[in-house]
Amino acid sequence: MKQAFDGYALGEERVDIENVLNRVLASDVRSDVDVPHFDRSVVDGYAVRTGDADGASESVPAFLKLIGSVQMGEENTAVLRENECMYVPTGGMVPKGTQAMVMIEHAQKVADDEIAVYRSASMYENMLRIGDDIRVGEMVLTKGKRLYAQDIGALSSTGHREISVYKRPKFAVLSTGDEIISPDSELTMGKIKDINTFALAAQIESFGGEVAIKKVVVDDFGTIKSEVEKATEKCDVVLVSGGSSVGEKDYTYEILKELSGKEIIAHGLNIKPGKPTIVADVDGKPVIGLPGQPASALMVLTLMLDILHEVFYKNVRVKTYVAAKLDQNVASAPGRKTFQMVQIAQGEHGKVAKVIRGKSGMISLLSKSYGYFVIESSSEGKEAGEAVNVYPLQ
Amino acid sequence: MKQAFDGYALGEERVDIENVLNRVLASDVRSDVDVPHFDRSVVDGYAVRTGDADGASESVPAFLKLIGSVQMGEENTAVLRENECMYVPTGGMVPKGTQAMVMIEHAQKVADDEIAVYRSASMYENMLRIGDDIRVGEMVLTKGKRLYAQDIGALSSTGHREISVYKRPKFAVLSTGDEIISPDSELTMGKIKDINTFALAAQIESFGGEVAIKKVVVDDFGTIKSEVEKATEKCDVVLVSGGSSVGEKDYTYEILKELSGKEIIAHGLNIKPGKPTIVADVDGKPVIGLPGQPASALMVLTLMLDILHEVFYKNVRVKTYVAAKLDQNVASAPGRKTFQMVQIAQGEHGKVAKVIRGKSGMISLLSKSYGYFVIESSSEGKEAGEAVNVYPLQ
């Protein structure tokens, strides 16, 4: 799937940095300014010339003439001459000629205009010179970076107020099935309340996508086909849940084959859950048939989002996890990579991963899930007590 | 801090489940319905009475009369009698009297109204009975749960369209300093572009908070005091960045002492970075003086949000991480818990945590940070090659 859509390009837009949390940079960002753009102190203390404090100690201090102090945020036009010092607070501009800052803890006022310095200072100690931190034109953040708080701070400090980010990828979520009704409709016999459109849409939102179409579609060949067609025009990714299995009325495969006009990229994945997943290329866009079972559909979508992240942003999502000890043996599905859903509980000796079991399609498989761990297809399974990395489902 | 604000209660509001991602449940949620609310199949196959397939095998199949098939989403009013079977798709309603489902893979149509069944079936195999998954009134999700995609699916399927969540906690972000200007203002000597209001606000947004006040405040006792006072009235949490150190013009401690009217909860934390942090109780609300250095301020806020999560939601945030090998030795700050910022890189043998070093106050400390690892105060440090758990800063 990654290879098939490798050239896919999302649009770009300029967004104010107050609104870019979780968005992804569409171009490299370089600094507009030198940081700092003046020589500044990183401590509260006295600006000195290093030669004047050479050999200074508690017993033999250097006595320097205090020529004043600078106010925060003010330009400092003073010039430091031999045997002079000046008070500069943290972040303040040092006078011309400053070679180091001596912290107030290592100095003492001995007269109105005289400071005893108890330490020698090395060149440029406790200060930053122009561009020491970041030079004008230097790369600050690279294209494809997802933006978190620290990045937004870096953007603002290097003079950026608006930046180019990728447009949110647009998703369509089509849940097929004649049995599905809205959660606020009254349940009648044979019907079930809609789960997938809500759960899948929320997961897309977590990913930073936009759900442009969200619909329950009746299980009719023509209807599904026309809805998928419309969705493909408007969206970057189309999800069709249900109808990817092998039952009587599972049209998705046939529809995607017709719409794609070429080989289906994947029909049946070597994973559990998620075997009935279908991936097709319709007009250059990924159309994904997800399993109808809610827990399976959400799990497969999560894995697909990892791949789509690479397709859209050309880098791999860093996945974090929590280590936990398994509460029971888990067999792997022979020849398939297994994604086992678990709860997380706090045990006496650390976190415990409690395996969630139940019949296929149970909602409680979903509501109890914190996340999943992976059993490679080459492995026979994991044993009770074994440590596993549990990835949150979100 | 946790103890001091233990009784703090956020307001509640009812929100549509389409808009509750990342919100926190303000009350337990029980199911409004039995799930399933009719006996349903979890496979595509034939509804049978178990006795009729007793001892059935490939060589000696059981031949059953096919009485019809049910449509998805339709009520099934049929009754299954001895030696009868009925086709039911996955999720479909089984006829009255059904004791098990036999998968289509284990059966074959031998005549228009006759099915050969090649396996015996155990009681209630491949089907769910009313309430098997979730009973009406059963607890689905508990108060204090942060809502992710799987929870939203569980809510919709148990009949909830609107639920009670905590109001987003309101934060004020006050950055003090005469040197701070907006990122779109022109840099003049002595000034620096604002970082903290942007970075801290983004982190609050990640947490699920609302930034109700965001302001740069001049470094003047009266002004800061009145701004903190106003912010405390309007917000749940007030952050004051800068002014928590020991320089000449650091008013925060005095101001918080005056406004609090009682003992300051914490003045100076045993952590690095973050020593100059101040926590005060002003009218029952946490007012937090953060270090002025951007990387320190963001790190301390992140830790404070962990505690505020416990205060607001009465449970501990599950923190996920990525394991990585340290690229160099890191000494701990004697007697202090150290939070060391690192980059994450992909090495030959797994992930590498690259220690970020630089002078205090450098922006690049921030822009390069993926996250941090922890050195306990009792430890002397970590060595190159040692495995550490790196927590993302977001």
Contact (Cβ atoms closer than 8 angstroms) between residue A38 and residue A129: no
Are A147 and A20 in contact by the 8 Å Cβ rule? The answer is yes
CB A30 within 8 A of CB A131: no
In chain B, residues with a C-beta closer than 8 Å to the C-beta of A126 are 359
DSSP tally for chain B: helices H, then strands E: 6, 28
> In this predicted structure, what is the pLDDT of residue B361?
80
In a domain, B7, yes or no: no
Instruction: Measure B138 CA to nearest chain A CA, in Å.
Output: 11
Q: Strands B237-241, B285-290: parallel, antiparallel or unpaired by DSSP?
A: parallel
Residues of B in contact with A22 (CB under 8 A): 206
Q: CB distance A133–B219 less than 8 Å?
A: no
Last residue of a domain, one of B265, B292, B313: B313
Q: Is the ipTM of this complex over 0.90?
A: yes
Chain A contact set for B23 (CB, 8 A): none
Band of residue A249 on the pLDDT scale cut at 50, 70, 90: low
Closest by alpha carbon to B278, among B239, B244, B248, B250? Answer: B244
What's the distance, CA B94 to chain centroid?
A: 39
Q: How many CA atoms lie within 13 A of B387 on its CB side?
A: 5
Does A184 share its domain with A276? yes
A285-290 and A237-241 as β-strands: parallel, antiparallel, unpaired? Answer: parallel
Listed residue (B65, B59, B109) closest to B83, CA to CA: B65
Residue pair A330/A356 in contact by the 8 Å Cβ criterion = no
DSSP annotation string for A251-319: -HHHHHHHHH-S--SEES-SEES-TT-EEEEETTEEEEEE-SSHHHHHHHHHHHHHHHHHHHHSSPPPP
Q: Do A30 and A161 have their domain in common?
A: yes
Q: B164 near B26, Cβ under 8 Å? A: yes
**Residue B6 within any structural domain of the chain:** no
With contacts defined as CB-CB under 8 Å, which chain B residues touch A203? 149
Residue A28 is part of which domain span? Answer: 12-35+134-166
What CATH number has the domain bearing residue B103?
2.170.190.11
Q: Is the dihedral of CA A370, B164, B161, A170 positive or negative?
A: negative
pLDDT in tens, B273-291: 888 899 999 999 999 999 8
Cross-chain residue pair A148–B93, CB shorter than 8 Å: no
Residue B3 lies in a domain: no
Q: Do A17 and B206 touch (CB under 8 A)?
A: no
pLDDT in the model for residue B247:
54
Annotate A151-189 with three-state secondary structure.
HHHHHHHCCCCEEEEECCCEEEEEEECCCEECCCCCCCC
Does any domain span residue A120? yes
Amino acid at B115: I
Tens-digit pLDDT profile for residues A267-294: 888 999 888 899 999 999 999 999 888 8
CATH number, position B327 = 2.40.340.10
* Chain A residues within an 8 Å CB radius of B320: 320-322, 391-392
Q: Same domain, yes or no, for B153 and B122?
A: no
B361 and A189: CB-CB below 8 Å? no
- d(C-alpha A390, C-alpha A325), whole Å: 10
B86 and B201 co-located in one domain: no
Bigger pLDDT: A243 vs B48: B48
Clarify whether residues B212 and B326 are in a common domain.
no
Q: Number of folded domains in chain B?
A: 4
d(CA B135, nearest CA chain A) in Å: 11
Can you read off the two tokens belonging to residue A215? 């619909």
pTM, two decimal places: 0.93
pLDDT in tens, A307-342: 999 999 999 998 999 999 999 999 988 889 999 999
Average model confidence (pLDDT) across chain A: 93
Buried b (16+ CB within 10 A) or exposed e, B320-334: bbbbbebbeebebbe
Query: Sign of the C-alpha dihedral, residues B44, B48, B50, B51?
Result: negative
Return the CATH number at A146: 3.90.105.10
Establish if A3 belongs to a structural domain.
no
Å from B346 to nearest chain A CA? Answer: 10
Residue range A45-65: mean pLDDT, rounded: 97
Q: How far is A232 from chain B (nearest CA, A)?
A: 23
Domain assignment present for A5: no
pLDDT digits (tens, 9 = 90+) for B102-111: 999 999 999 9
Measure the CA–CA gap between A182 and A194, rounded to whole angstroms: 5
- B169-181 per-position pLDDT tens digit: 999 999 988 888 8
